[in-house]
Amino acid sequence: MEYLLKRMPSAVATVLVASFLSFCLLYFAPGDAAYIIITQKLDEPDYEAIEHFILKNRLDLPVLEGYILWLSMVFLHFDFGNSLRTGEEVLQEFLVRFPATLTLALSALLFAVFLGITLGMLSALKSGTFWDSIARAVTSAGISIPEFWLGMLLILLFSLKLGILPSFGYGSVEHLIMPTLVLGFHLSSRIARVTRESMLDVMEKNYILAARARGYTERRVIFIHAFRNALIPVATLAGMDLGHLLGGAVIVESIFAWPGVGKFMVDSLFARDFPVVSGFIMIFTFFFVSINLLVDLLYMRINPKIRVTWHARE
């Protein structure tokens, strides 16, 4: 609890800075938001329609005044405003699409952690062998292959050629398989590399030699003494990856027509939909900061020495 209280001011500052920068960047971006949005609704908008839209949505306010007004609504009423495009509440737009993004993010992360740790452990324990070469080749491919190319390749193979998986949509396990593979394969490669390097480093520590000298079995040495300490950098990477995934895997959502928040936010960005972009970024920043705090707490759970070191610094 003490640690969380110490980190809270910096976490709040991060959320505020991120929301302010996103608000300012959109405000000063080229293009007239009112004209862009009205044009999508009316083929030939007149001056009166544009002026009414500006006054109704308070787009005539200076940037700082507009941000303070929007921020006060967020903190006092938990109201992120209404989308300039759809007219719906920003929070409602987020809640409608977030379950799809969360489902995809968690499934991709679980797949990536399982495959990445498996490949990393295999590569570290069989270092210098044929199995090490295979594992490293797979991880290199996962990092090098672009997600959009892999997605189209999977659609070509499993949807068009074999006809066993749907190429787009949302609502069943079959729809989830290919987007999960595309996202998870790239992440698993990074996790595998970190796991391999961490395991190789831990296996050379003195406490590993001491455990072997006590006559412990190699399986106990690896999974009880080495693996637990090697998990610390893996937990860091997994936590950061989850934060990024919750921001919306825009490419994957676009390829597979996945109705998540990423594609909606990008469309809102091009349309200069200030409330949606600022609100979504603030929510995602809050998620990212919260996940980082949870990862730090997980550090202390995995390795009590970190907790002792932190208290010593205090």
CB 155 within 8 A of CB 255: yes
Choose the weakest-confidence range: 75-79, 122-126, 266-270. Answer: 266-270
Residues 61 and 130 in one domain: no
Q: Say how far apart CA 88 and CA 215 lie, in whole Å.
A: 66
Same domain for 116 and 250, yes or no, is: yes
Q: Which tokens is 241 given?
A: 């990856």
Most confident of 36-50, 139-153, 241-255: 139-153
Residue 304 confidence (pLDDT) above 70: no
Say whether 43 sits in a helix, a strand or coil.
coil
Burial category of 163 from C-beta neighbours within 10 Å (exposed 0-12, middle 13-18, buried 19 and up): exposed
Q: What is the mean pLDDT of the chain?
A: 79
Q: Identify the CA nearest to 147 among candidates 119, 118, 108, 173.
A: 108
Which residue, of 249, 270, 291, is where some domain finishes?
270
Tell me, yes or no, whether 119 and 264 share the same domain.
yes
Average pLDDT over residues 6-20: 81
Residue 114 sits in the same domain as residue 260: yes
Asked if the structure places residue 285 within a domain, the reply is no
| Strand intervals (E) in the chain | none
In a domain, 29, yes or no: yes
Question: Which of 145-149, 189-193, 228-232 is predicted most confidently?
Answer: 189-193
pLDDT attached to residue 41:
64
Residue 54 near residue 34 (C-beta atoms within 8 A): yes
One domain, residues 42 and 112: no
- What's the domain range around 8? 2-77
Task: Examine the domain organization and report whether 56 and 178 are in the same domain.
Answer: no
Residue 291 lies in a domain: no
User: Exposed, middle or buried: residue 200 (CB in 10 Å: 0-12, 13-18, 19+)?
Assistant: middle
Among 238, 254, 270, the domain-final residue is 270
How far does Cα 70 stand from its chain's mean position? 25
Residue labelled with tokens 């329609």: 49
Query: Do 124 and 29 reside in the same domain of the chain?
Result: no
Share of the chain above pLDDT 70, in %: 87
What share of the chain has pLDDT > 90, as a percent? Answer: 0
Q: How many domains does the chain have?
A: 2
What are φ and ψ of residue 275, in 5° steps? -60, -40
pLDDT of residue 313: 47
Helix runs in 155-205, H state only? 173-202
Q: Which pLDDT band holds residue 311 (cuts at 50, 70, 90)?
A: very low
Statement to judge: residues 56 and 118 lie in one domain: no
Burial of 311 (0-12, 13-18, 19+ CB in 10 A): exposed
User: Do 154 and 28 reside in the same domain of the chain?
Assistant: no
Question: CA–CA separation, 233 vs 185, rounded Å?
Answer: 19
pTM equals: 0.75
CB atoms within 10 A of CB 217: 11
Given a cut of 50, whether residue 293 has pLDDT beyond it is yes
Q: For residue range 54-87, what is the model confidence (pLDDT) as tens digits?
A: 777 777 778 888 888 888 888 888 888 888 778 8
**pLDDT tens per residue, range 87-118:** 888 888 888 888 888 888 889 989 988 988 88
Main-chain phi, psi angles of 176, to 5 degrees: -85, -20
**Same domain (yes/no): 27, 130:** no
Give the torsion sign (CA, 126, 127, 128, 130).
positive
Is 58 domain-assigned? Answer: yes
Domain annotation covers residue 280: no
Q: What was the pLDDT predicted at 310?
A: 45
CATH code for position 107? 1.10.3720.10
**Residue 51 has which token pair?**
């002026």
Same domain, residue pair 243 and 173:
yes
Using pLDDT thresholds of 50, 70 and 90, give the confidence band for residue 151: confident
> Residue 250 has what pLDDT?
76
Distance separating alpha carbons of residues 291 and 241, to the nearest angstrom:
10
| Out of 40-54, 229-243, 256-270, 281-295, least confident range | 40-54
**Domain check: are 109 and 155 in the same one?**
yes
Tell me the average pLDDT across 150-178. Answer: 85
In degrees rounded to 5, what are phi and psi of residue 89? -65, 140
Tokens of 23: 């608000």
pLDDT above 70: residue 42: no
Is residue 240 within 8 A of residue 95, CB to CB? The reply is no
CA distance 71 to 275: 11
